[in-house]
Structure 1
Amino acid sequence: MHEHIAEAVKEPDVVTVPPGAICLRFETMKLYSALGAVRHLLDTGQVKPGDTLIDSSSGIYAHALALACHRHGLNCHIVGSTTIDRTLRVQLEILGATLEQVRPSQNLRLDQNLRVQRIGELLQQNPHYHWMRQYHDAIHYLGYRDIADLIRKEVPHGPLSLVGGVGTGASTGAIATYLREAGRDVTLIGVQPFGSVTFGAEHVSDPDMIIAGIGSSIPFHNVRHHLYDRIHWINFDYAMSGAIELLRASGIFAGLSAGAAYLATLWEQEREREQDADRTYVFLAADTGHRYVDTAYAHHTAAPGLGTMRPHEVTTQNELKHPWSAMNWPPPDNGLLHDAPALMAEPA
């Protein structure tokens, strides 16, 4: 029996998805990040019950942090994107979290910059608030050890490819790190939107992908570029088609990042089938599809089928183009990107 709904909600469904892939389907994957970080802060005395935790979110992390704070008797304040819908706003209010949303914007850069700017203002006004820094603090890696342990138990032994949205870097990066530490042969395949600076695609815009929450207009220190072996950049239309086909093929109703990860998984399976037939593919469905009904799922009759979709294989970021590009990582000359000075480690 669980002591709080947060512990129950975080558990993923492990589902076989034809042909031969495994999906970890979460209601909200970032509960692992939020719960692990909050527990560590309480255990080390950095915060105590009654304190206020604050952070920026496009939606998923807001829900996760609010539940973690509710679980441990902490206050929660979220500076949110306009993508946070009425369903989540009402839940946050009832859970006791406070939410303020930045003004509407048409691109990822402005939206994220506005949120970070507002965080700075709030911290000046309330220096006793604790900023969770989900984008930059390695404390957010800790909770994902449980997912790595789950994969070790559920997924057959042998080489494994993990496919998922990069986002803040803490989820796919942490899971792969813990699996590798346990001796597993892991290829890490990250999914990005065009327009994200994280892997050097800021020069190719895709304003619609702001809702996907898998890219960034600012550098995230929690992204460890050296952990990744392949990167896929997938635009809104193809991610939408991937999500719709995932629902059609498996019944899994998930977000756009899951659709993009499913599309990347199918391609990676095809390109590696003859060379590495024993490899298992695991892809992440980090959230449900509810907030994408109007923007994506409602257009399912017009969505292109997956049969003709192939990525444009590139060797440098200058070659990136819509609707889908992929490349081995790191590229031959990776002078554009560097990890944060402090590599991922368990916080003291």
Structure 2
Amino acid sequence: MHAHIAEAVKKPDLISLAPDLACLRFETMKIYSALGAVRQLLESGAVEPGDTLVDSSSGIYAQALALACHRYGMKCHIVGSTTVDRSTRVQLEILGATLEQVPPSRNLRLDQELRVRRIAEILADNPSYHWMRQYHDDIHYTGYREVADAIDQDLPTGPLALVGGVGSGASTGALATYLRAAGRDVSLVGVQPFGSVTFGSEHVADPDMIIAGIGSAIEFRNVRHELYDRVHWVNFECALSGAVALLRTSGIFAGLSAGAAYLGALWERRGDDSRTYVFIAADTGHRYVESAYARHEQALDIDTLKPHEITSLDQLRHPWSTAPWPATAS
């Protein structure tokens, strides 16, 4: 029996789509990150029950941190993006968390800068608050050890390829780190939207992209670039097509980042069939119904899609590019 709903909701399902292809499907992945970080902060004495934790979020982390605070008797304040939907806002309110959303912005960079600036103002006025720094603090790696252990136990021995979105870096980076420490041969493939600075695509815009959680318009300091072996840059059209294909073929209703990761895993698998491929579905598709899934008739046949193989970042182009990392950094 679980002591709290957060402990139950956090557990992912490992779903086999083929003998060498699996989906690691979460209801909301960042609960692992938030629970692990809050627990470690309490154990170290950095915070105490009743303290206020504050952070920025585009939606998923807000719910995760609110649940973690509810679990451990903390107060929670979120500076949210305009992408935080009504369902999340209502849950935060009932859980006792407070949310303030920054004004609508022209682009993701301005949105993230406004949120970070607002947090600085809040901390100046409330020095007792603790900033969780989900984009910068390696403490958010801690919670994923349990997931890595489960993957190691549930999948056959042998080489793995882990494919997933790179936002703060804590999820894919942490899973690869813990699996490698356990002795696994792991190839780590990161998925990015165009326009993200993390892997150098800020010069290629994608005005339709709404996957704020896997890209960054400002530097995220807890992304460990040396952990990644390959990167895929995927635009909205391809991510939508991948997500629709995933739902149609497997019944898995997941977010746009899962659609992009699914495409990446299928492509990598075509080139190397010696590994078991695991791609991450970080959240469900519910918040993307109107913005993406309602346009499912526009989805492309994914068998007709293939990425541009590039050798330098100045070759990046729509709708989908891929390259080894860090060869493209030169």
> TM range, normalised to the smaller chain?
over 0.9
Q: Matches of 1:72 and 1:122 in 2, distance apart?
A: 22
TM-score, structure 1 normalization: 0.93
Deviations 1:55-109 (CA, angstroms, capped at 9, x unpaired): 0000000000000000000000000000011111000000000000011123110
Q: List, as ranges, runs of 4+ consecutive aligned residues in structure 1 with deviation greater than 4 Å.
A: none
SS at match of 2:127: coil
Letter in 2 for 1:174: A
Partner of 1:34: 34
Identical-residue share of aligned pairs (%) = 71
Going from structure 1 to structure 2, the CA distance change for 1:23 and 1:12 (only over 3 Å counts) comes to: same
Partner of 1:330: 326
Q: Matches of 2:240 and 2:325 in 1, distance apart?
A: 25
- 1:141 aligned to 2:141? yes
8 Å contact from structure 2 (residues 108, 212) kept in 1: no
Deviation of 1:307 (Å): 1.4
Q: Matches of 2:207 and 2:56 in 1, distance apart?
A: 20
Partner of 2:271: 271
Q: Matches of 2:160 and 2:198 in 1, distance apart?
A: 24
Residue in structure 1 matching 2:306, options 301, 310, 315: 310
Letter in 2 for 1:81: S
User: Would you say how many aligned residue pairs link Structure 1 and Structure 2?
Assistant: 330
8 Å contact from structure 1 (residues 141, 170) kept in 2: yes
Q: Matches of 1:327 and 1:314 in 2, distance apart?
A: 5
Partner of 1:290: 286
Range with greater deviation from structure 2 (100-109 or 80-89): 100-109
Partner of 2:44: 44
Partner of 2:115: 115
Q: Matches of 2:208 and 2:225 in 1, distance apart?
A: 25
Q: Matches of 2:40 and 2:105 in 1, distance apart?
A: 35
Letter in 2 for 1:109: R
Q: Where do 1:70-219 residues align within 5 Å?
A: 70-219=70-219
Q: Matches of 1:289 and 1:159 in 2, distance apart?
A: 30
Q: Matches of 1:212 and 1:285 in 2, distance apart?
A: 15
Deviations 1:239-259 (CA, angstroms, capped at 9, x unpaired): 011001000011000000000
Deviations 1:15-41 (CA, angstroms, capped at 9, x unpaired): 011473111100000000000000000
Q: For the aligned residues, what is the CA RMSD?
A: 1.0
Partner of 1:220: 220
Which stretches in structure 2 are left out of the alignment for 5+ residues?
Answer: none
TM-score, structure 2 normalization: 0.98
SS at match of 1:16: strand
Deviations 1:185-220 (CA, angstroms, capped at 9, x unpaired): 000000000000001100001122233410001111
Which stretches in structure 1 are left out of the alignment for 5+ residues?
Answer: 336-348
8 Å contact from structure 1 (residues 83, 211) kept in 2: no
